[in-house]
Structure formats: structure tokens, C-alpha cells
Amino acid sequence: MRLLPILPFILDYPFLRPAKFLAENIQRGMVFNAALERAEEILESLLKRGHYEFKPEDKPFYCSACDKVCRDACDRDAIAEDFLWDRCNLCGECFLRCDYSISPESYREMEIRAKVSVYSYIMMRSAISRAGEGVRRRFATSLARSYRHAMESDQSEILPEILASNFSIKIIKNESLWVHVSDYLKAASRIKSPEWKLVSRNLRRGYVELDALGFYRVVEERMRDAFFEPFTIEIEGLESLMNIVTEYELSRKAGRIEGVKDFDLFPPCMRKIVADLKDSANVPHTARFAITTFMLNVGYSVEEVLDLFRNAPDFDEEKARYQIEHIAGQRGAGKEYDVPSCSTMKTYHNCVAECGVRHPMELYRRRLYEGRGRKAEGK
């Protein structure tokens, strides 16, 4: 029964190291679709509400009733009559060799549910990795806090040992939990509460005494760092998650967009370019051309477009004015330039969401007409 002892823990905490064995071949199918649906629900809640309620289940640890024939798989001598968690790095090699017997139906159900959990976690990490730093920090903080709340309600007696092994936190567990002072200080340095000052704690032989809640707070800091790190796995078919990320990122910046009328009607790609320019980001030439043609086509003047570019780090008013007037057909041969199509926007990596249209102007006009219809209905 491959990975059986750790599957219930991966189901609740898909960031655990042995989860990599379930993510070796992520393929489309029922599990993929179920994971995507779960990822959409979690990601939207994390970004919009800053929290998602995970509900950990009762978790048997099958190794406690096993003679541990897998001990030869461990090169750290962490398996004796019981697990020696201070030696374990949760590599998962022993769990791969599990021969504990349960019904195939129960095992298969558990494996599928664990895969859904792992896939959804990877999907979210993959989608959020392309977002700005502020959005990624929001995600990491919210997800870490949500998992901490889940841990606080978890009834598993060995969960602290598993988490400590996973995040390389040195602990001693007897009547209390004792965390090595170096691991404690990494977390405490970020927590402003006076009770987290080292002088407020019981320190003995290099270890700090904590209750379970305090330990999970230390783990939260480790999770937050882990969830914020760049994620290199790219998965196709995550357009719905990318839309959630993009919409949140743009709504977050919308409050700072001044002097842009009908901003909510703009397609996501154009809203992103405007927001980046307002944030003084170094926007590529292809994106600047796109937003210039778009704004001129929807009725903005040369002066209004010029004002948008004033926050650009390399802004040169004379050069920018000439280029805008040229695109508007007021210089040169008098040619007015069209807005790039969606395919062109994708070619230059300026597309940020799957909108179901072929041209940005198509989406803008649709939203404009829908808005007028709602106004008419309200009269």
C-alpha cells in the first residue's frame, strides 16, 4: 500500500515532502478536474477573504501497528520499534515500501482524495507564481494562517513530529513541546507580541518550551516562507485560476487608478498595463503600444494618454508625446493604428486572462453595452 501511513496527513497538508510522489504525473481527467474545482474555491477565498477553512480529519498512523519491515529504506536510522522523529527528514522512502494491509477500496479512495489535495495545492502555487509580489505575499500569508488554524483543531498526536521533520525544526516532546532556540528565534523575530520575547519563555539546555498552539505558530512562519518562494512547475489548463489571480490583482490596484474613466470596462490585459504604469513598473514597448492604441480608440485624448505614462521610470515627455501623436495619426503619414488582437497580445506575453473573445475591443464594447443596458433597466 504505497505511501499508506502518510496519505491521511498529505490529504490535510499537501505541502508535506512525500506529496511529491503523488505529483509525479499530473494528467487531465477526473482527479485533475476535481482538483481544479477545489483550487478555484480555495484560491478565491484566500485572496478575497484572507482565509479558507480547512477541516482536518481523524488520522490513524498505521506504522504504530506495524513491524516496520521498511526500516531498511531509511539511511538515517530513524526507524526502530518506533519512529525516531528527531532523525527523520520525512523523505518518504519508507512509506513507499509500506506493506500494511487494508481493503483496496479504502486505500484507493484515500489515494484519490490525497491526489486531489496535492494537485489543487500545486495548481494554486503555479497560478500565483506569475502574480506580483503583493499578491503572492497575500496568498502565502493567508494560506499559512489557514493551515495553522487547521493544525490547532487537528487531533493527531504525532502531527507536531511530522511537521517538525518536514520543516527541519528541532523539537523535544515530553509533557511539553520544546523547540530549539534557533528555530524559535527565526519565528519570534517576526512576531511583535511581548510574550514571544525570549526572556518571556522557559529556556532549558538550548530549547524553548511551547504549548501546541505556540509550536504551530512557529510552523506558520515556516509555511509562509515556503508558500512565498518561486514555484517552477507550470501546468496547462489553469486559465480559471489565472483569471482569479488577475481579477484580484487588478481590483487591488484599482483603488490607486486615478484619471482613468470607465476603468472597470477595460479588458484585464489593458487594466494590468494601466495598473503597472501607475505603479511605475517597467512596462515593455509592446504593452505601451497596446494601451496607447486602446485608449485612443475608446475616446481618450493624447494628453490623457500622455498623463498615464508620466509614472513610467524612463518617461521622456517630448518623445512620449511624439509617439502617441504618431499612433493617433497626427504625425507622419496620418495612419491611425489599430488595437492589437488577442492573439498578438498572447504572442508578446501581454495577455493575462482567458476572456473568451478574439479582440480586446470586443470585450470592451460588450461590457459597455451591458453597462448601458443595466442603466436603462434602472430608470
pLDDT tens, residue by residue, 250-259: 776 654 455 5
Residue 25 scores a pLDDT above 90: no
User: Cα 181 to the chain's mean position, in Å?
Assistant: 30
Sheet architecture: strand order including 171-173: 171-173, 177-180, 207-210, 203-204
Radius of gyration of the chain (CA): 26
Per-residue confidence (pLDDT) for residue 378, from 0 to 100: 55
Q: Please report whether residue 244 resides in a domain.
A: no
Do 131 and 14 fall into the same domain? yes
Q: How far is it, in rounded angstroms, from Cα 64 to Cα 43? A: 36
Q: Which of 179, 212, 228 is the last residue of a domain?
A: 228
Q: Please report whether residue 236 resides in a domain.
A: no
Range of the domain at 104: 7-228
Do 192 and 282 fall into the same domain? no
Do 337 and 220 fall into the same domain? no
Do 191 and 89 fall into the same domain? yes
Point out which residues pair with 204 in neighbouring strands. Answer: 207
Per-residue confidence (pLDDT) for residue 254, from 0 to 100: 55
pTM, 2 dp: 0.71
Do 166 and 267 fall into the same domain? no
- Cell numbers describing residue 221: 512562519
Residue 290: pLDDT band (50, 70, 90) is very high
**Which H or E run contains 197?**
none
Residue 53 scores a pLDDT above 90: yes
Do 173 and 311 fall into the same domain? no
- Cell numbers describing residue 377: 433597466
Contacts of 280 (CB under 8 A, 6+ apart): 311, 312, 313
Residue 13: pLDDT band (50, 70, 90) is very high
The pLDDT of 236-247, averaged and rounded, is: 90
The pLDDT of 157-183, averaged and rounded, is: 94
Task: Report the range of poorest mean pLDDT among 200-204, 244-248, 291-295, 361-365.
Answer: 244-248
Q: How far is it, in rounded angstroms, from Cα 139 to Cα 273? A: 22
Assign 89 to helix, strand or coil.
coil
Residue 209 scores a pLDDT above 90: yes
Q: Please report whether residue 179 resides in a domain.
A: yes
Q: How far is it, in rounded angstroms, from Cα 297 to Cα 361? A: 9
Do 48 and 147 fall into the same domain? yes
Do 274 and 324 fall into the same domain? yes
Q: Where are the alpha helices (DSSP H) in the chain?
A: 7-12, 30-49, 93-96, 104-128, 133-153, 159-166, 181-188, 212-228, 239-254, 268-278, 285-297, 302-308, 317-327, 342-347, 360-378
Residue 234: pLDDT band (50, 70, 90) is confident
Q: Please report whether residue 1 resides in a domain.
A: no
Q: Please report whether residue 295 resides in a domain.
A: yes
Residue 149 scores a pLDDT above 80: yes
Q: Higher-confidence residue: 8 or 307?
A: 8
Do 164 and 99 fall into the same domain? yes
Residue 227 scores a pLDDT above 70: yes
Phi, psi of 322 (to 5 degrees): -60, -45
Number of domains comprising the chain? 2
Helix 360-378 vs helix 268-278: crossing angle, to nearest 10 = 100
Q: Please report whether residue 241 resides in a domain.
A: no
Burial profile 21-54: b = 16 or more Cβ within 10 angstroms, e = fewer: bbeeebeeeebbebbbebbbebbbebbeeeebeb
Do 28 and 175 fall into the same domain? yes
Task: Report the range of poorest mean pLDDT among 142-146, 213-217, 284-288, 314-318.
Answer: 314-318
Do 187 and 293 fall into the same domain? no
Residue 278 scores a pLDDT above 90: no
Phi, psi of 79 (to 5 degrees): -120, 115
Residues 139 and 46 sit within 8 Å (Cβ to Cβ)? yes
Per-residue confidence (pLDDT) for residue 252, from 0 to 100: 66
The pLDDT of 217-224, averaged and rounded, is: 95
Residues 242 and 268 sit within 8 Å (Cβ to Cβ)? no
The pLDDT of 127-144, averaged and rounded, is: 88
Per-residue confidence (pLDDT) for residue 79, from 0 to 100: 87
Residue 166 scores a pLDDT above 70: yes
User: Cα 178 to the chain's mean position, in Å?
Assistant: 31
Per-residue confidence (pLDDT) for residue 34, from 0 to 100: 96
Burial profile 347-359: b = 16 or more Cβ within 10 angstroms, e = fewer: eeebbbbebeeeb
Residue 374 scores a pLDDT above 70: no
Residues 149 and 141 sit within 8 Å (Cβ to Cβ)? no
Task: Report the range of poorest mean pLDDT among 39-43, 135-139, 198-202, 293-297.
Answer: 135-139
Mean pLDDT across the chain: 89
The pLDDT of 135-143, averaged and rounded, is: 90
Q: Please report whether residue 242 resides in a domain.
A: no
Q: Which of 228, 247, 280 is the last residue of a domain?
A: 228
Do 218 and 316 fall into the same domain? no
Q: How far is it, in rounded angstroms, from Cα 127 to Cα 121? A: 10
Is 355 annotated to bind a ligand? Reply is yes
Is 269 annotated to bind a ligand? Reply is yes
Q: Please report whether residue 335 resides in a domain.
A: yes
Identify the CATH number of the domain in which residue 182 sits: 1.20.930
Contacts of 82 (CB under 8 A, 6+ apart): 64
The pLDDT of 117-122, averaged and rounded, is: 97
Q: Which of 209, 228, 247 is the last residue of a domain?
A: 228
